[in-house]
Amino acid sequence: MSTLTAATQFDAATKAQIRPTEGFVTAAPAMILRIEGALVLAAACAAYARIGGGWVLFALMFLTPDLSMLGYLAGRKIGAVGYNIGHSYILAAVLGVTGIVLAQPLLVSLALIWVAHIGFDRMLGYGLKYPTAFGHTHLGVVGKLRRA
């Protein structure tokens, strides 16, 4: 299924119900992606420990990317964009590389915490969001929608 087809399906989903697995990763590929999330979490934590990052900072900052969910107060579309910005590896990688290039260990530490958070979410099945509903992610349906 192409990305364009998936996007068209989700636009239509705002007007009509969709089948729970349509446009989502399922079965073995979904499990592989969750295992990858666990491995990313473990690798980020190991790297954080290796660079001597403080665990108090880690604990304080670990849930910070979830502040991106506040975008949902402005609606599903804005919420999904905000959440996806905060839960994509792209900006975390940019932050980490910037920290390395500028020799700023705090930036590297924050990037590793961010990556660990994303890995944790992916391990739990929380993926990047579609604008149809908070529970519609690239890893499948989560939360109340899954039980419905």
pTM (2 d.p.): 0.81
Domain range holding 122? 3-7+20-147
Please check whether residue 13 lies inside any domain of the structure.
Answer: no
pLDDT in tens, the chain (148 residues): 444 444 445 455 444 444 545 667 778 888 999 999 999 999 999 999 999 999 999 999 999 999 999 999 999 999 999 999 999 999 999 999 999 999 999 999 999 999 999 999 999 999 999 999 888 888 888 876 555 5
Cα distances (angstroms) measured from residue 58 to each of 63, 85, 103, 137, 142: 9, 20, 19, 26, 26
Please check whether residue 14 lies inside any domain of the structure.
Answer: no
Residues sharing a CB contact under 8 Å with residue 29, sequence separation 6 or more, in sequence order: none
Please check whether residue 41 lies inside any domain of the structure.
Answer: yes
Please check whether residue 75 lies inside any domain of the structure.
Answer: yes
Please check whether residue 15 lies inside any domain of the structure.
Answer: no
Please check whether residue 27 lies inside any domain of the structure.
Answer: yes
Q: For the chain, how many structural domains are there in total?
A: 1
